[in-house]
Amino acid sequence: MNAPFARADGCATPSAALPVLKERGQREVFCGLTGIIWLHRKIQDAFFLVVGSRTCAHLLQSAAGVMIFAEPRFATAIIDERDLAGLADANTELDRVVTRLLERRSDIKLLFLVGSCPSEVIKLDLGRAAARLSQQFSPGVRVLNWSGSGIETTFTQGEDACLAALVPELPATDAPGLLVVGAMADVAEDQFRRLFDALGVGPVRFLPPRRSGDLPAVGPNTRLLMAQPFLADTLRALEARGATRLPAPFPFGAEGTTEWLRAAAVAWSVDPAHFAAVVAPAQERARHALSLHRTVLAGKRVFFFPDSQLEVPLARFLARELGMVPVEVGTPYLHRVLLDRELPWLPSGTQLSEGQDVERQLDRCRAARPDLVVCGLGLANPLEVEGLTTKWSIELVFSPVHGYEQAGDLAGLFTRPLDRRQRLAA
Ligand code: SF4
């Protein structure tokens, strides 16, 4: 048995010491349908059929417009007035749409029926519809459902709902293994796979998989390494299958990535010297890339509006590795278990807020006059007009930001708006 690793530590502040401002009021967030934009690129033989309104279709189109490489592996089955008035049988309509879709698209192996506010309003039972259609189209196509409804949700919950819907489909196993949970860019996934191989940690599987036929097995000897901080329901479902989470910060920046990998290395009893030797080259490249951005960001004050649920890990990264000062870190939900290794790393004096009352938060932001505001698209333009510099939080979910090689790019997402503002002022 190898000696346990010492944790890298610094200006730790017990999370219990940080005050949390809980707010309930008007919120400015996208709904869970937005997750389809990155999930449809990740699971390459899946199709996402939103059962919703024209509003839902418009949201998807505008969110997809942010992406350069959007592909048509999602669509909206529009619920119209006749359905809403109960004049048409929505189930019959849905069966007709799905049959036509699957006849035309033999490449689809996994079909998600995605619920929306309108489908919930008319109480369309998509779970039952998915079971019925799955039976009809099996074994060629599996049909599952989840809800992206915007009632009381935020946009990254779409991924959580989607992955949680996949968990009952995962095969069972008693074999030991590591499961990395959360959608990451393929390039980051490949880099991590190489690092785990070099460390001798494995077998390693990823959820979601790139092909729906490649679902990872799960069981009592599966260790979970969470790649995203917003997957509370997925984690619960995996734990119910017997898997155990390895507590770790999230793999953002050199430090977060090292400690995330270290959590797996400790569980696999990897020799500390071997661990250090394996991660050293990439860790050094990441530190060097970050040092270039630190000169711009150090001492700058940053304010997070609650949106992506990445706020706490990103604030930790910006504070500890780039010297920024988080003024307020707002998050839609504060998942204390998932953030157990992140919260103690926030600097003392950081105002944490959970939930949103947007007008009051805007007042606090205006009063603080931060150098950078991380917020949703709806708030960014008005704040820019008021002279504040903003970063769209949704970009942080769409971009490859995990791991050592992306650490510099992640920092660049924060330096760019400051740079642009400076050039406009010059
Ligand atoms: S699911 Fe609800 S919040 Fe989302 S676009 Fe449709 S109607 Fe709007």
Task: Flag residues of the chain having pLDDT under 70.
Answer: 1-17, 65-71, 81, 83-88
| Distance in angstroms between the alpha carbons of the first and the last residue of the chain | 60
Q: How many CB atoms are located within 10 Å of the residue 213 CB?
A: 9
Backbone angles phi, psi at 372, to 5 degrees: -145, 135
> Ligand 1 centroid to 117 CA: how many Å?
5
What confidence score (pLDDT) does residue 15 get?
Answer: 47
Instruction: Give the Å distances, CA to CA, from 385 to 144, 225, 370.
Output: 44, 41, 15
What confidence score (pLDDT) does residue 85 get?
Answer: 66
Q: Does the beta carbon of 396 lie inside 6 Å of ligand 1?
A: no
What confidence score (pLDDT) does residue 238 get?
Answer: 98
**Atom of ligand 1 at shortest range from CA of 52:** 6
> Ligand 1 centroid to 115 CA: how many Å?
9
Q: Among candidates 194, 136, 185, 145, which has minimal Cα distance to 166? A: 145
How wide is the angle at C-alpha 345 spanned by C-alphas 339 and 346, nearest 5°? 90
Q: Among candidates 343, 284, 324, which has minimal Cα distance to 411? A: 324
Instruction: Give the Å distances, CA to CA, from 3 to 168, 248, 268, 271, 273.
Output: 37, 18, 12, 8, 11
**Distance, CA of 175 to CA of 182 (rounded, Å):** 21
> Ligand 1 centroid to 143 CA: how many Å?
22
Residue with tokens 């890298």: 8
Q: Does the beta carbon of 94 lie inside 6 Å of ligand 1?
A: no
**Atom of ligand 1 at shortest range from CA of 55:** 5
Q: Does the beta carbon of 374 lie inside 6 Å of ligand 1?
A: no
Q: Does the beta carbon of 117 lie inside 6 Å of ligand 1?
A: yes
What confidence score (pLDDT) does residue 250 get?
Answer: 98
Q: Does the beta carbon of 412 lie inside 6 Å of ligand 1?
A: no
> Ligand 1 centroid to 27 CA: how many Å?
14
Give every strand in the sheet of 177-181, ordered side by side. Answer: 204-207, 177-181, 222-226, 244-245
How wide is the angle at C-alpha 179 spanned by C-alphas 60 and 244, nearest 5°? 115
Residue 51 contacts residue 113 (beta carbons within 8 Å): yes
What confidence score (pLDDT) does residue 64 get?
Answer: 73
Residue located nearest, by CA, to atom 7 of ligand 1: 117
**Atom of ligand 1 at shortest range from CA of 60:** 5
**Distance, CA of 324 to CA of 327 (rounded, Å):** 9
Which of 28, 30, 33, 120 for a ligand 1 pocket mutation test, highest count of atoms within 8 Å of Cβ? 33
Backbone angles phi, psi at 49, to 5 degrees: -105, 105
- Is the link from the previous residue into 203 a cis peptide, with omega within 30 of 0? yes
**Atom of ligand 1 at shortest range from CA of 115:** 1
What confidence score (pLDDT) does residue 7 get?
Answer: 34
What confidence score (pLDDT) does residue 68 get?
Answer: 47
pTM above 0.85, yes or no: yes
What confidence score (pLDDT) does residue 258 get?
Answer: 98
What confidence score (pLDDT) does residue 88 get?
Answer: 65
